[in-house]
Copies of this chain bind each other. A is one copy, B any other.
Amino acid sequence: MANEKTLIGRRGLLAASAGFLGASVSSGRGQASNDSEGLVPPWSKEQGAPIRESSYGEPSPFEKNVVRRPRGALPTFPSAGTSDTPLQNLTGIITPNGLVYERHHAGIPPIDPAQHRLLIHGLVDRPLILTMDELTRFPSVSRLHFLECSGNSSATWTGGNPKWTVQDTHGLLSCCEWTGVLLSTLLDEVGIKPAAKWVLAEGADAAGLSRSVPIDKALDDAIVVYAQNGEKLRPEQGYPVRLFLPGYEGNMSVKWLRRLKLGEGPFQTREETSKYTDLMPDGTARQFTFIMEAKSVITFPSGGHHLKGPGFYEISGLAWTGRGRIKRVEVSTDGGTSWHEAQLQEPVLSKCLTRFRLPWTWDGGPATLQSRATDETGYIQPPRRMLTDVRGFNSYYHLNGIHPWHIDPSGGVSNVA
A interface residues with partner B (beta carbon < 8 Å): 8, 10-16, 20-26, 29-33, 41, 43-63, 66-70, 74-75, 78-79, 81-83, 89-100, 102, 104, 106-113, 115-119, 121, 126-131, 133-134, 137-142, 176-177, 179, 185, 188-189, 204-206, 208, 227, 229-236, 239-240, 256, 258-259, 308, 311-314, 316, 345, 347, 349, 355, 357, 359
**In the complex, which residues of chain B have a beta carbon less than 8 angstroms from the beta carbon of A121?**
25, 33
Contact present for B231 and A25 (CB under 8 Å): no
- Minimum CB–CB distance for A203 against chain B, Å: 9
Q: How far is the CA of A116 from the CA of B67 in the complex (A)?
A: 23
The answer to whether A47 and B138 touch across the interface, beta carbons within 8 angstroms, is: no
Q: What are 28 pairs between A and B in contact, CB < 8 Å?
A: A21-B134, A22-B131, A24-B128, A25-B121, A25-B129, A41-B204, A43-B205, A44-B208, A47-B79, A48-B110, A50-B107, A51-B79, A53-B74, A54-B67, A56-B58, A56-B66, A57-B235, A58-B98, A59-B232, A62-B113, A63-B232, A91-B227, A92-B177, A92-B230, A94-B229, A96-B96, A96-B97, A139-B359
Report the Cα distance A44→B133, complex, angstroms. 21
Copies in the complex: 2
Q: A314 vs B78: C-alpha distance in the bound complex, in angstroms?
A: 41
A14 partner, pick from B30, B48, B92, B138, beta carbons under 8 A: B138
Other 18 A-B pairs with CB < 8 A, given A15-B138, A347-B347: A8-B139, A10-B188, A14-B189, A22-B131, A22-B134, A25-B127, A25-B129, A32-B118, A32-B129, A43-B206, A49-B235, A57-B100, A57-B236, A92-B227, A99-B231, A137-B311, A142-B345, A347-B349
Main secondary structure of the interface of A (DSSP, over half): loop
- Least CB distance from A297 to B in Å reads 15
In the complex, chain B residues whose CB is within 8 Å of the CB of A50: 74, 78-79, 81, 104, 107
**What is the CA–CA distance of A67 and B22 in the complex, to the nearest angstrom?**
42
How far is A303 from B212 in the complex, measured between Cα atoms in Å? 42
Q: B15–A81 contact, CB under 8 A? A: no
Q: Which residue of B lies closest to A188 (CB)?
A: B11
- Which chain B residues lie closer than 8 Å to A79 at the CB level? 47-51
Chain B residues whose CB sits within 8 angstroms of the CB of A26 once the complex forms? 127
Give the residues in chain B near A82, CB-CB below 8 Å.
51
Q: How far is the CB of A86 from chain B (nearest CB, A)?
A: 9
When chains A and B are docked, how far (Å) is the Cα of A29 from the Cα of B118? 13
Q: List B contacts of A347 (CB < 8 A).
A: 347, 349
Residues of B within 8 A of A179 (CB): 91-92
